[in-house]
Amino acid sequence: MSSTKNIYVSQIMLNGGHFPKQQTVGVDISKKVKLNHPITFDYLQQNIFNYLDEYFTRFRLQDQNIKVLYYVNDPIIDMEYDSQTHVLIYTNDRQELKILSLLSSYEYVVSDSVTWFTYSPHQRLLSTVMSKNYFCYFELLGSPTCIKSAFELIQSFVDLKNSRILLLTKAKSLIIQQFVNDPSNLQPLAEVADVSHFAVYDDHLYFLTKGQLLYRNLKQNNINVLLIKNATFNSLKLHRESFEGYKYTCESLNCAFFCQSTLTDELTCGCPPPLIQVDKKCICPKDDPHCKMPHCAGFLCKNSKCLINNVRCNGVNDCGDNSDEIDCKKKCSSDTHSCRNKCFIKDAVCGPVDISVIDPDPKTTRIKRRIYASLIALVCLALLTYPVYRGAKLIYGICRVRRMNLNLHSQALEPFECSELLEVESASADIMLMGSIININLKYL
């Protein structure tokens, strides 16, 4: 869930139901994340992907690290992420639905004329709304099955497991229909008015009405339950991850284009249609020898390997055939890369437009590191000099006491109050403790 200022997470029960007192927790996100731009959340790895400055950008929640991943030609409308296959799924202003593998850096146009989509990772199914009021469903690397609707649609969700279809109309009416075997033969089940967003977990429906988060059990009753009071949200997404023990991981498969999950809970390399797989390679079929291949979204090596575009002219053979190190007008260090005749840091990819979310200039990074190192050195110096200070203070105290004793013996003065010295020592100790706390905090600035 998100508001105009923050993202909130609200955990639900394992069966999909809500808790008696549903709670929300605010996500600690970078100030550079823009919630009014396309955004998606990787729950397993604690990453946020945000479309900024014509780039896909990743924000790590654990260490607040920012990495600019890919330049995108067309403005992005919406995006989702599948943590099993490591792909970004997104639509652009040309109504193209695309997938982009973060492992191979290849992207592919899955479908055209898509006005809206959602992805269900546990069912491995895409649900889309097409132009002319068609709604479709298909696997990531499959062919779509489309059905004509009598309503003007803005969202859809096909639940094959529970034989339901949910359609949100332009009139903000959520129409719930059911079917037996054939999704094209639909029967009315229920209707909910004034809905802006919805998410479904089996029989459990969560939806927003005028910014309020409500719940309805689709099987038992038609009663709406307000889950969270005194809060207003403007979007809603369900993250339902699968934790099955897959036979392989996508990283170990080293797929040429895309990794896909099968109905038998295995992960294999797959080819988008109309490509076919032959000897672990994706090729065009004989009846379409010039079919459209996936496009490299990063830097294309001569050996057809596609890499994130942060490898040029840094003395490292990233491609394996050294094609990233030829025709270099500017040589950069191994921890940077060449872009537009400049050296960029590795966290900023090369693209035709400037990046504002981070400074790609390595000189700025070095200055920040020097400031950080100076703070650490200052703390270390303070810690090293502290024992010397304590020793000098102790010697001074002994000398002072001896001097006072001599004065007391040489002059007939009344003895001084010991409590005065103890109070000064106590105050001094408090000041040093405060100083120690400040020094420790400096290391985290």
Bridge partners (DSSP) of residue 60 are: 47
Amino acid at 219: K
Bridge partners (DSSP) of residue 165 are: 158, 177
Model confidence over 335-383: pLDDT tens digits? 999 999 999 999 999 999 999 999 999 886 554 555 445 555 555 555 5
Q: What is d(CA 348, CA 361) in angstroms, rounded to the nearest whole number?
A: 9
Q: What is d(CA 50, CA 373) in angstroms, rounded to the nearest whole number?
A: 31
Q: What is the pLDDT of residue 4?
A: 56
Considering the entire predicted model, what is its pTM? 0.80
Tokens 């055939």 sit at which residue? 321
Q: What is the pLDDT of residue 74?
A: 95
Asked whether residue 410 carries a pLDDT value surpassing 90, the answer given is: no
Q: What is the mean pLDDT of residues 164-173?
A: 98
Q: What is the pLDDT of residue 374?
A: 55
Reading the block at residue 209, the tokens are 């009405």
Q: What is the mean pLDDT of residues 18-30?
A: 88
Model confidence over 84-124: pLDDT tens digits? 899 999 999 999 999 999 999 999 999 999 999 999 988 88
Rounded to 5 degrees, φ, ψ at 424 are: -65, -40
Model confidence over 188-213: pLDDT tens digits? 999 999 999 999 999 999 999 999 99
Asked whether residue 235 carries a pLDDT value surpassing 60, the answer given is: yes
Cβ–Cβ under 8 Å, residues 51 and 57: yes
Q: What is the pLDDT of residue 414?
A: 40
Task: Kindly give the residue spans of alpha helices, DSSP state H, lying in 45-184.
Answer: none
| Mean pLDDT value across the chain | 83
Asked whether residue 262 carries a pLDDT value surpassing 90, the answer given is: no
Question: Which range has the worst mean pLDDT, 31-35, 152-156, 407-411?
Answer: 407-411
Q: What is the DSSP string of 217-278?
A: ETTT----EE-SSS---SB-----------SS-HHHH--SSEEEE-TTS-EEEE--TT-EEE
The confidence band for 395, taking pLDDT boundaries of 50, 70 and 90, is low
